[in-house]
Structure 1
């Protein structure tokens, strides 16, 4: 498992670019702000050659990957370049979180002469934050990568 929650990969499909986009459209509904149930597998938007979607899940996961894709026609079908990343609001929040915790860790290291057990709290928070982001992102990203490969393969 990688530490940074970002993945980029390509899917070479035997389908045409139009067929790839059509398959994605069939599984994708409109993105709604407060949607608790959806009849579609994904939500987002799709245009002529690009899409940005997220998986509709029945539970809360702030670290759910945002899937961005570009579809290009090739001589043998279509090439879909996909990147998975965190939502921008989550990136901003976690940047602030990790900055504050890192400052706490540096402050503890600067005062090692007066060590006590509560001084380990910033290091625990740092490990917890990394585990939370990595676990939440990679758990879903691995499942969605398999699903996208399955969806875009020629049947």
Structure 2
């Protein structure tokens, strides 16, 4: 398992760049703050240009680990290649690093002091503080994976012109 979740993949289309951009254009709206509950919108919000795109999937629930999706177009005589990278937003990464470093800088010394019997406390209590974040990291990873897999399928269908 990767420490920080990300995914790189490439989609090869036999169609020219303009056709791929046109299909993506129909599925991406300009970024905006959403206060309404309308579900009548494209699946993605972000920026699209002739060189690439940066989008996020529009969801109607909370998920801080929603992938940030960036793609680059490469036109060739045989069609268009789209290189896509999905990763966490840098602020989420910064928060996770700050939280984990703060948590472990306090709990590991306490755990070691309990382990060496220098302070009183049951062993499982000290172990619990070390294990909780270790269990949370896979939860974060699988939350990202769930959203990344959905976006990968959807983007591949859009780029190749398949019905979703």
Please indicate, yes or no, whether the TM-score normalized by the shorter chain is above 0.5: yes
Q: What residue in structure 2 maps to residue 113 of structure 1?
A: 116
Q: What residue in structure 1 maps to residue 8 of structure 2?
A: 8
Deviations 1:4-24 (A, max 9, x none): 311111111112112111111
Cα offset for 1:113?
1.3
Normalised to the residue count of structure 2, the TM-score between the two structures is 0.85
Q: How does 1:8-87 map to 2 (within 5 A)?
A: 8-36=8-36, 37=38, 39-87=41-89
Cα offset for 1:29?
0.8
Q: Check if 1:152 corresponds to 2:159.
A: yes
Larger-Rg structure = 2
Q: What residue in structure 1 maps to residue 134 of structure 2?
A: 127
Contact kept? 2:111, 2:130, Cα under 8 Å:
no
Query: Which consecutive residues of structure 1, in runs of 5 or more, have no partner in the other structure?
Result: none
Query: Which consecutive residues of structure 2, in runs of 5 or more, have no partner in the other structure?
Result: none
Cα offset for 1:105?
4.2
Cα distance in 2 between the residues matched to 1:128 and 1:42: 31
Q: CA RMSD in A?
A: 1.9
Contact kept? 1:51, 1:68, Cα under 8 Å:
yes
Structure 1 stretches of 4+ moved >4 Å: none
Cα distance in 2 between the residues matched to 1:14 and 1:152: 10
Contact kept? 2:108, 2:130, Cα under 8 Å:
no
Cα offset for 1:85?
0.4
Cα offset for 1:106?
2.6
Count of paired positions? 155
